[in-house]
Amino acid sequence: MSTTWHILGAGSLGTLWATRLARAGVPVRLILRDEARLASYQAAKGLTLVEQGVEHTYPVIGETPDCPEPIHRLLVACKAYDAQSAVAQLHARLVPDADLILLQNGLGSQDAVAAQLPQARCIFASSTEGAFRDGDWRVVFAGHGYTWLGDVGHPTPPLWLDDLHAAGIPHAWSTEILTRLWRKLALNCAINPLTVLYQCRNGGLQDHQCEVATLCAELTELLEWCGQPAAAEQLHSEVERVIQATAANYSSMYQDVNNGRRTEISYLLGYACEAAARHQLTLPHLLQVQARLVEHLRAHGLASD
């Protein structure tokens, strides 16, 4: 019997992973916040995955954080701002050499989780898959993509990648996972805040080309100072390409703000501005966009951290 995947966070990505693993016959258990959420989940009789309009429900076993069973493998599928406290609840259950797979976007939360668990193996992931919830315990698979996984301290891939293969989760092991995470962070910093400030789709940034170019120049400088020259390569042309390719889409940050949800700003723009300060870099446009975004979030009654 292969090792059980414990999934922490029954949101969009957690459900997308849990259902595909369960469909492949891999043992999966879902960790829910408390008894009330567990009762609601049990009433729904499982997790539903909607793919190309076709839905299937998978009766994945649910449990609360205080279930006594030890955890050997944990997929952390919370938002970046919840990851550290959500994992902390499970300290007593995690075996010392547990594997954690951290799906969070941006940077900062992964190091915070890894620092809590010095003996565990923390694998960082960067995903371009897209999913959203259209109801409790339901997820719509909205965009096919890829997930890169890597371990900054240990280049050997884990054997359980076979489970991802069996589950049809497109993935690759990356020995340069930090480059991927920094690159994605830079793309998100160049695009997402401006779509919120200008209240536009990604394609709307074609009307703000100078501002995008200035931000890209500052982000390129930052990546180089942070020892990430590969993530800095051709950043501006990549940002322009993404703006064009996703012109009709609303960025994830735009969607969060417009749905009244907390953003992951501290792990994107906030992380970039803190890194710039650490290197005593002057990046006035990046700082200005952060200040404007914080003001916008406050004006809309949303958390600005």
Residues that bind ligand KPL (CB under 6 A): 187-188, 191-192, 202, 242, 246, 251-252
Q: Which partner in ligand NAD, ligand KPL, none is near 151 (CB below 5 to 8 A by kind)?
A: none
- What positions carry a catalytic annotation? 184
How many whole angstroms separate alpha carbon 295 and alpha carbon 80? 21
Burial 37-54 (b: 16+ CB within 10 A, else e): bbeebeeeebbbbbeeee
Tell whether the torsion through CA atoms of 237, 239, 242 and 243 is positive or negative.
Answer: negative
How many whole angstroms separate alpha carbon 153 and alpha carbon 169? 24
- Binding status of residue 12 toward ligand NAD by CB under 6 A: yes
Binding-site size, ligand NAD (CB under 6 A): 26
Q: Which partner in ligand NAD, ligand KPL, none is near 264 (CB below 5 to 8 A by kind)?
A: ligand NAD
Interface of this chain with ligand NAD, residues 119 to 148, rule: CB under 6 A: 127, 129-131, 133
**DSSP string spanning 61-118?**
EEE-TT----EEEEEE-S-HHHHHHHHHTTTTTEEEEEEEEE--SSSSHHHHHHHH-T
- The two tokens of residue 99 are 């594997």
Interface of this chain with ligand NAD, residues 47 to 66, rule: CB under 6 A: none
Burial of 210 by CB count in 10 Å (0-12 exposed, 13-18 middle, 19+ buried)?
A: exposed
Q: Which partner in ligand NAD, ligand KPL, none is near 77 (CB below 5 to 8 A by kind)?
A: ligand NAD
Q: Which of 26, 100, 103, 223 binds ligand NAD (CB under 6 A)?
A: 103
- Binding status of residue 264 toward ligand NAD by CB under 6 A: yes
Interface of this chain with ligand NAD, residues 71 to 90, rule: CB under 6 A: 77-80, 82, 86, 89
Compare residues 140 and 286 and give the one whose CB is closer to ligand NAD: 140
Q: Which of 4, 5, 7, 10 binds ligand NAD (CB under 6 A)?
A: 10
How many whole angstroms separate alpha carbon 141 and alpha carbon 268? 24
Interface residues toward ligand NAD, by CB under 6 A:
8-14, 31-33, 77-80, 82, 86, 89, 103-105, 127, 129-131, 133, 264
